[in-house]
């Protein structure tokens, strides 16, 4: 670990980036001593800029932001990178090609978790661009995981909850119940596990008991980053 350093492209949003940092320090191997912490460098974005570009569907401009961040992190000594947002992974290949150090794909981490649970299908719950397009689901399908998606109305509700509440640090009982209802509908359609493919969804559930199995994308990604590190 002495010569390794995890680089995080964060701030998309700060809520989930803080969760990345917390879990990296909680889940790191402590066998070398109780005060063991991974070396981490974070390049945090201005999410207001990112949200505006996403609404304009200017994904190339989003990718340029992530590429600049990846290069800064590599220059800062990062030996492995994590792009701390599911939606941002639509540009994963472009960002990875811009640096010489490896970047860990959150979609691969999720697929591995599904299979480790003995499941073959997952409900894909995240931002509307993550759910409605194929950049995320097609990668999971390539890895042998069948994807179940919500209805258009349910996607709209999840998008509103994410951007009007969760990314602003607002977590309400009514939105939590709506999320649970949508997840249960996906399970009824055959999803063996529910993927929390928005990095704020784990914060929304926050230990609440559900009738379905979940995989938190932040936790899955952190575990993969630590293994690669």
pLDDT digits (tens, 9 = 90+) for 75-94: 999 999 999 999 999 999 99
Cross-strand partners of 214: 194
Token pair 């009982």 is at which residue? 173
| CATH numbers and ranges of domains, the chain | 6-105+220-228 (3.40.50.1860), 107-217 (3.40.50.1860)
Section 146-150 average pLDDT: 98
pLDDT at 201: 94
What pLDDT was estimated at residue 182? 98
Report the C-alpha gap between 140 and 142 in whole angstroms. 5
Phi, psi of 115 (to 5 degrees): -70, -35
pLDDT for the residue numbered 199: 86
Q: What is the pLDDT of residues 191-224, one digit of tens each?
A: 999 999 998 899 899 888 999 999 999 999 999 9
How far is it, in rounded angstroms, from Cα 172 to Cα 179? Answer: 11
Q: What is the mean pLDDT of residues 183-190?
A: 97
Q: Are 229 and 223 in contact (CB under 8 A)?
A: no
Whether the CB-CB separation of 18 and 8 falls below 8 Å is answered with no
Secondary element (H or E) of residue 57: none
pLDDT of residue 1: 43
């Amino acid at each position: 670990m002495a010569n390794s350093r995890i680089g995080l492209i964060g701030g998309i949003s700060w809520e989930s980036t803080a969760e990345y940092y917390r879990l990296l320090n909680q889940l790191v191997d402590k066998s070398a001593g109780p005060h063991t912490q991974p070396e981490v460098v974070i390049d945090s974005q201005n999410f207001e800029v990112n949200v505006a570009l996403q609404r304009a569907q200017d994904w190339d401009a989003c990718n340029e932001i992530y590429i600049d961040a990846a290069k800064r992190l590599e220059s800062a000594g990062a030996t492995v990178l994590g792009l701390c947002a599911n939606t941002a992974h639509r540009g994963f290949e472009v960002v990875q090609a811009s640096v010489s150090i490896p970047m860990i794909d959150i979609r691969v981490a999720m697929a591995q978790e599904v299979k480790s649970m003995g499941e073959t299908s997952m409900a894909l719950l995240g931002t509307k661009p993550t759910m409605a397009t194929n950049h995320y689901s097609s990668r999971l399908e390539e890895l042998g995981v069948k994807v179940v998606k919500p209805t258009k109305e349910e996607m709209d509700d999840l998008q509103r909850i994410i951007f009007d509440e969760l990314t602003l640090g607002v977590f309400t009982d009514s939105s939590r119940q709506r999320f649970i209802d949508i997840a249960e509908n996906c399970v009824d359609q055959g999803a063996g596990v529910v993927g929390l493919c928005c990095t704020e969804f784990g914060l929304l559930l926050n230990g609440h008991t559900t009738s379905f199995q979940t995989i938190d994308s932040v936790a899955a990604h952190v575990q993969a980053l630590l293994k690669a590190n």
